[in-house]
Amino acid sequence: MKNFRQQQQHRPKKSLLIAGRKAVLDSIGSGKELERIYLQNTAYGAAVEEIIKKAAEFKVPVNKVPVEKLNGFNVSNHEGAVALISKIQYQDLQQVISFVVDKGKAPLLLILDGITDIRNIGAIARTAYCCGVDCMVIPDKGVGSLNEDAISTSAGALEKIAVSRVNSLMKAVDDLHLNGISVFASEMTAEKKIFDVDFSVPCAIIMGSEEKGITPALMKICDEQFSIPMQSDFESLNVSVATGMVLYEVMRQRITIK
pLDDT band at 6 (very low <50, low <70, confident <90, very high): very low
- CA 219 remoteness from chain centre: 17
The pLDDT of residue 8 is 45
Q: Is pLDDT of 91 > 90?
A: yes
Average pLDDT, the chain: 90
User: What domains sit in the chain, N to C, each tagged with a CATH number?
Assistant: 14-85 (3.30.1330.30), 93-257 (3.40.1280.10)
Continuous segment of H or E residues that includes residue 23: helix 21-27
Q: What is the rounded average pLDDT of the residues 70-83? A: 91
- CA 41 remoteness from chain centre: 24
Q: Which of 28-37, 160-169, 230-239 has the lowest average pLDDT? A: 230-239
Q: Is pLDDT of 62 > 50?
A: yes
Query: Could you tell me the pTM of the whole model?
Result: 0.85
- How many Å apart are CA 62 and CA 65, to the nearest integer? 9
Return the percentage of the chain with pLDDT > 70, whole number. 95
- Residue pLDDT, tens place only, 154-198: 988 999 999 999 989 999 999 999 999 999 999 988 999 999 999
Helix (H, G, I), strand (E, B) or coil at 165: strand
- Candidates 130, 128, 126, 135; CA nearest to 107 is 135
pLDDT band at 10 (very low <50, low <70, confident <90, very high): low
Return the percentage of the chain with pLDDT > 90, whole number. 68
> Of residues 84 and 76, which shows the higher confidence score?
84
The pLDDT of residue 210 is 81
- How many Å apart are CA 118 and CA 111, to the nearest integer? 15
Which neighbouring-strand residues pair with 18?
A: 83
